[in-house]
Every structure is written in C-alpha cells, then in structure tokens.
Chain A
Amino acid sequence: MKNCEYQQIDPQALPTPTPTPPPPHHHHHHHHHHGHDGDKREEPNRLRRKWEVFPGKNRFFCGGRIIVARQSGVLPLTLGLILVTSVLFFIFDCPFLVKHLTSCIPVIGGVLFIFVVITLLQTSFTDPGILPRATPDEAADIEKQIENTGSTSYRPPPRTKEVLINQQVVKLKYCFTCKMFRPPRTSHCSLCDNCVERFDHHCPWVGNCVGKRNYRFFYTFIVSLSFLTAFIFGCVTTHLALRAQGGKGLVFALQESPGRYPSLSNLVICFFSVWSILGLSGFHTYLVASNLTTNEDIKGSWSGKSGAECATNPYSHRNIFINCCSVLCGPMPPSLIDRRGFLPVDEYAQTSGTDIELPTLAAKSEINVCTQGTKGLLESATRSPLLSTPCPQGKPQSAHTCPDNSPTVNSDPSPELSTSCGARHTARSLSDTSPPRHTKTRSKKSKRAALHIPNPAFDDPASPTSPDAGPSTKGSGQKGATSASMH
C-alpha cells in the first residue's frame, strides 16, 4: 500500500470486492477482533483460488483449469464407446481395406477420431458460460429496486422484468439461487446449480451444460462424430461386402473373417449411432441457422405458440449465413467465473476465532458446520436483511427443462457465506436429498433422454424408455417439452 496524498484515495490500496478495509476499525460493527493475528495463523502464504470456493455444483481439476459438472453423466461411456469402436475399426477393418482399397482410410479415420475426441473433451471441460452469482451488495440493491417498483399489496411482487429487444418484449426472470435477474437467453441449470448464458441444454453424454462458450465445441463434436460413425459404418460395410464378393456369400465371409464379431458389433453400433447422431446434427444445424437454442425451441418461445401475438426471434440476424457465423465463428467470450483468480486475503475467507455466535438469519441451519465467514454474516446481515427464503411462488418461474431443486433454492446462503463455508460440502449433502433421479439406473436413462431433449424429428432408438418416442414431427417436440418439464 503506497503512501498517497491527503485527499486522494488510492484505488490500488483496496482490493476491489471488499466492502470493509483490511484492518477493520471499530467504527463498523465488528466486535470480535481478538487476535487479528489469529487470522494469520491459517497459512498466510497459501492464497486460495476462487475455484475452491465456487458455489455451484461443479468439480474442478488441474488447479481450476478444467471444469465439469458434478455428475459426470455418461461421459466415460461416450468416450469408451468412441474409443472401442474406433480401435476395433483400426485393428480389424483397416488392414483389409488398406490392402484392397487405399491407405488413406486409416488416415482419414485417424484424423476424424482425433477431432472427435478433442472436441468432446473441450465440450466437457470448458466453462459453458456460467454466470457468477450476485455479490451481497448487488443482491441487496436489486431487492431494493424490486421493492420500490413493486406492488402495494402484501403479496410479494412477481419477480420478472420486461425488456424490449429489437421490438420484441422479452421477460427476464429473477433467479433465486443466483440472486439476480437473468440476462436474456440465460437459464438456470439445476443439475449444475448455475445460471448459464445462452443455455442450450444439459448434455449427460458430455457431462456438462452446453451454453454460450462451448456450443461451438459441441456442434463440431456432433458433426465430426456423425462423419466418423458414417465413415466407420461405410468402411465396415465395404469390408464385409468385399469379403462376401471374393468368397461364397456373406455368411461364409463372416465365418472366415478373423474379426467377424468385432466387425459385426461395430456395424451394429454404428448403424444405430449414425441415425441418432445424424439426426442430432441436423437438428442443431437448424438451430444454428435460425440462432435458436434447444431451450427456446422446446419451449416454443419464438414460434408464436405461447404469446398472443406473433413472436419472432429477436436475436436472429435474419440471414442464415450470418446466423451460422455469429454462433460458430464469433469471438470467443471469456470465462466469467475466473476460476484461477485468488481470493482476496483479507476477505471472509479468514477465520477470526473459533466459535462465533451466529445471528438469526432465517433458514440457514447448514452454516453451523463452519466458523469462517462470520464477518461476512454480520456484513450481510446488516446490509441485506431481505436475504431470506424465497417465496414459494417464485420457484415455478425458475423451473425450465431441468426442474428446480427446492433444497438448492431454499438453503442458498449469500455467496460469501457459501464460499467460505465450503459450499461444495453443503451442496453435496443437499444433493443427497434431491429426488433419486441421478442414480445410474434405467430411470436415469429415461430422464437422460428427456433431459437431452431428443430431437423431435428423429427417433432415438438408443433410449427405450424415451418419453416422446412417437411421431417424428416437430409437434412432438412440444409433447416432449411438456413431459420433460414435468419431470
């Protein structure tokens, strides 16, 4: 902290997020500063990074560089399937085809395979566009604004705000977990417990949400995967056909070929994958061309079904080429959650003693596990007395394709509290109480099918209990939507 002039405030002397100056003086409401050195006893050299106190249900690896959702879903299965199929292809079909056709085949296959794996890992490990939760000051400010403009009745005012975007009225909803009005096209994923910008869907195959930042990876992944599966399918078919030609028919060819079981299983897997993946790619190509998200398409936000007047998509550039370019080739937005940043040392991460009496903040019983962040408790108690359990009628508003998890909503402390209390532990205990839809059973598969928003236009033969296996028209997407949102 450099010395500065009498009047001037040195902006560098204050780390930005703190509302109280580092050596807190007693003109504020802190009473227990016994042992300011007590704060220092906790590893003065080791600063904590922000990912360690991230309030959402995510897991971090490599020091915060890699982010995945809490449930990795079926990502290992996806990777395994791709690996197994490709390896079988290389071992059993390539030698024959190289001999009889051309040696480009393994090269093309190899390139596609590498492309697929890289884009898959990028989709899974990239921050999809998570919005950090509002700081307590922001939340208090918003609450004040809501109160000021709210109705005079004793019932709490509806927490929506209307904005005019390109002459189209768009409703912004208030997110109770993140304590802010969601920007347009942002949705709260209850599986990850985060608001995600330009939320598309939560993909269990990939084990992550698909949002603004990783949509291009996801799209490249499914397109290259459809090429890969089509390629393998074609090669295996050619392989078997060539063998059948040379010999006495297909059955004999199958009997004599050394890799008949692998080739056949490859064929079967690829046959089913090709249709579903091709279908998904086609669906997403349509979405990209019209600058829609899966979320909006399922809910029919812009197709005029929900609104009285004809609603058009206000985000579309009205030109397919420009839409595609802006979604896929636009500038890459930065990650807003700053995983590897350091927590300010003087902040609520410090312990100031062992046991501090907790003020009576309503419904915050989970915080008794930790002693950190009591300064934050007092700060927020004085600054935002309105931080209490949200009213129940707010919940349906935040339920989208993923139903809002009520334990998550009710017990969310302010970010500072949850951060310094090790929210991942509290969140983990909360997720145990959530409905058992995350267990790896058949029911999960049906949920997975519903969550993955199976393309309305194509059958998904891989999900036997898919709720909207039905007519392959666009209309069935709406049925799928209602059934999905009922889960």
Chain B
Amino acid sequence: MAETHSLQDLQQPAVFSKVFIQRDYGSGTICRFQTKFPSDLESRLDKQQFEETIQTLNNLYAEAEKLGGKSYLEGCLACLTAYTVFLCMETHYEKVLKKIARYIKDQNEKVYAPRGLLLTDPIERGLRVVEITIFEDRNIGSGR
C-alpha cells in the first residue's frame, strides 16, 4: 500500500464519478446535447459556464451538419467522381470535428481542469453523450 508517491497521486487523481449529458432529439437527428445543468456538478461549476460550453458545442455541431450551398456543392462534386474524393479530401464535417477537439482541449485547460473536472470529446463516445469526469478533490479533503 505504497502511498508515498504523492506527486503521482496528484497527477492521477481518483475518479469520483461521471456525469453524462445526453443528446437532445427535440429537433430531429441532428447532433445536439441537452443544456440542463446536472445536479452533480453544482458544487464544482457555475451553471453559466456549463451552458456556455454545451451551447458552443451545439453550435459547432450544427455548423458541421449544416445543409447549405457549400455542402451541396461538395456532395454533388463527390457524386460526380463516384465519391472517390472522400478518399483524398478531408470533408467539411471532419474539419469542424477538429475545431471541436481544439475547443474541448482549450476548455479543459482553462475551465474544467482547475475545478477537478474533465470533459471528454463526444466523438469518442460515438456522439452519444458528453462525459464529464469528476475527480476527487484531495486538497479540500472532501471525499463525498
């Protein structure tokens, strides 16, 4: 039961629980997450921060799935080439996914990590949930 590696402990804190933000299907099958603030996070995070994060994510996904002139053009061009362009080119959706990944990393560094939370990119969960991992807060010593 070696507990002397305190630095390691702090670098790898224990997971207290996980909160899952489910998808909001009110407007169909587009990718949207519910903005309801989960009660487990009340002590760690402000409601506004949370809503802002989720809302930005929703907007980014909406941008990825937007049906507009550009996406139609991409689709028609792909059809004409028997969709072989998908093998060479990065699609618009993939570009936005990269943007989302950067945003999540940024949010983690600035907002969530200081509060002992970790935001998981929904793409790693099949775009089903936004997983927020809550770590035990050793320093305050509240092992709730």
Check A11/B108 contact, CB under 8 A, given A26-B1, A118-B82, A331-B92: yes
B48-89 interface bits toward A, Cβ cutoff 8 Å, 1 = contact, 0 = none: 000000000000000011110001101110110011101000
A30 to chain B, nearest CB (A): 12
Considering only CB atoms, which chain B residue lies closest to A65 in the complex? B87
Q: Is A429 an interface residue (CB 8 A)?
A: no
Bound-state Cα–Cα, A135 to B20, Å: 11
Q: Assess whether B26 is in contact with A314, with CB atoms less than 8 Å apart.
A: no
- Interface code B1-26, partner A: CB below 8 Å = 1, 0 otherwise? 11101011111111100101001011
Q: Name the residue of chain A whose CB is nearest to the CB of B108.
A: A11
Which of A13, A20, A122, A180 is B15 in contact with, Cβ under 8 Å? Answer: A20
- When A26-B1, A184-B25, A217-B83 are in contact, do A8 and B114 touch as well, CB less than 8 Å? yes
**Which chain A positions have C-beta within 8 A of B135?**
9
B35 on the interface (CB 8 Å rule)? no
Which chain A residues in 147-177 approach chain B with CB under 8 Å?
A: 163-166, 170, 172
Scan residues 322-362 of chain A and give those whose CB is less than 8 A from a CB of chain B.
322, 325-326, 328-334, 336-338
Q: How far is the CA of A338 from the CA of B113 in the complex (A)?
A: 26
Question: Do residues A332 and B18 form an inter-chain contact, with CB atoms below 8 A?
Answer: no
Contact of B11 among A10, A216, A217 (CB under 8 A): A10
User: Are B20 and A141 neighbours in the complex by a CB distance under 8 Å?
Assistant: yes
Q: Is B29 an interface residue (CB 8 A)?
A: yes
A141–B18 touching, CB < 8 Å: yes
* Chain B residue at minimal CB-CB distance from A212: B29
**Count of chain B residues with Cβ under 8 Å from any Cβ of A?**
62
By the criterion CB–CB under 8 Å, are A138 and B20 in contact?
A: yes
Main secondary structure of the interface of B (DSSP, over half): mixed
CA distance A184 to B25 in the complex (A): 8
Is A16 among interface residues, defined by CB-CB distance under 8 A? Answer: yes
Contacts of A141 in B (CB 8 A): 18, 20
> In the complex, A333→B127 CA distance in Å?
11
Q: Which of B125-142 contact A (CB under 8 A)?
A: 125-129, 131, 133, 135, 139
A6 CB contacts on chain B under 8 angstroms: 10, 139
**CB neighbours of B108 from chain A (8 A):** 11
The verdict on A25 contacting chain B, using a C-beta distance below 8 Å, is yes
A336–B123 CB distance below 8 A: yes
CB distance from A75 to the nearest CB of B (A): 18
Known: A183-B29, A184-B25, A314-B28. A131 touches B128 (CB 8 A): yes
A138 touching B27 by the CB < 8 A rule? no
B15 touches A19 (CB 8 A): yes
Across the interface, which residues of B come within 8 angstroms of A9, CB to CB? 11, 13, 113, 116, 118, 135
CA distance A124 to B36 in the complex (A): 40
CB contacts (< 8 Å) of B109 on chain A: these are: 11
Given the contacts A329-B76, A330-B67, A137 and B18 also touching, CB distance less than 8 Å: yes
CA–CA, A314 and B30, complex, Å? 12
- Chain A residue numbers with a CB within 8 Å of B129 are 138
Chain B contacts for A307, CB-based, 8 A: none
A100 to chain B, nearest CB (A): 30
* Interchain CB contact under 8 A, B29 and A185: yes
Give the chain A neighbours of B105 by CB distance below 8 A. Answer: 11
Given contact pairs A17-B124, A131-B128, A325 touches B75 in the complex (Cβ within 8 A): yes
Determine whether the beta carbon of A25 is less than 8 Å from that of B9. Answer: yes
CA distance A217 to B79 in the complex (A): 9
Cα A131 to Cα B13 in complex, Å, equals: 30
Contacts of A21 in B (CB 8 A): 12-14
Q: How far is the CA of A333 from the CA of B96 in the complex (A)?
A: 11
Known A-B contacts A9-B116, A137-B18, A336-B123; the reply to A328 vs B75 at CB < 8 A is yes
Q: Give CA–CA (A166, B124) in the complex, Å.
A: 28
List the B side residues contacting A19 at CB < 8 Å. Answer: 15, 18, 133
Confirm or deny: A220 has a beta carbon within 8 angstroms of a beta carbon on chain B: yes
- Distance, CA A330 to CA B64, complexed state (A): 10
In the assembly, what is the distance between CA of A14 and CA of B13, in Å? 10
Per-position binary interface string of chain A over residues 126-148, scored 1 when its CB falls under 8 Å from any chain B CB and 0 otherwise: 00000110110110011000000
User: Are A138's CB and B125's CB within 8 A?
Assistant: yes
Q: Which residues of A contact B71 (CB under 8 A)?
A: 329-331
26 A-B pairs (CB sep. < 8 Å): A3-B7, A4-B11, A7-B139, A9-B13, A9-B113, A11-B113, A14-B118, A21-B12, A122-B82, A131-B128, A137-B20, A137-B131, A138-B128, A163-B25, A163-B26, A166-B28, A183-B23, A183-B25, A184-B28, A197-B29, A330-B67, A331-B67, A331-B71, A334-B91, A336-B126, A338-B124
For the A-B complex with A25-B5, A27-B14, A330-B65 known, give 17 more contacts whose Cβ atoms are closer than 8 Å: A6-B10, A10-B11, A14-B12, A19-B133, A21-B12, A21-B13, A22-B12, A26-B1, A115-B82, A132-B126, A137-B20, A138-B131, A216-B75, A217-B83, A325-B72, A331-B64, A334-B123
Interface residues of chain B, those whose CB is within 8 Å of chain A, are 1-3, 5, 7-15, 18, 20, 23, 25-29, 64-67, 71-72, 74-76, 78-79, 82-84, 86, 91-94, 97, 105, 108-109, 112-114, 116, 118, 120-121, 123-129, 131, 133, 135, 139
- Interface on A for B, CB 8 Å cutoff? 1, 3-4, 6-11, 13-14, 16-17, 19-23, 25-28, 114-115, 118-119, 122, 131-132, 134-135, 137-138, 141-142, 163-166, 170, 172, 180, 183-185, 197-198, 216-217, 220, 314-315, 322, 325-326, 328-334, 336-338
Which 6 A-B pairs rank lowest in CB-CB distance, beginning with the nearest?
A: A329-B75, A21-B12, A132-B126, A336-B126, A118-B82, A11-B108
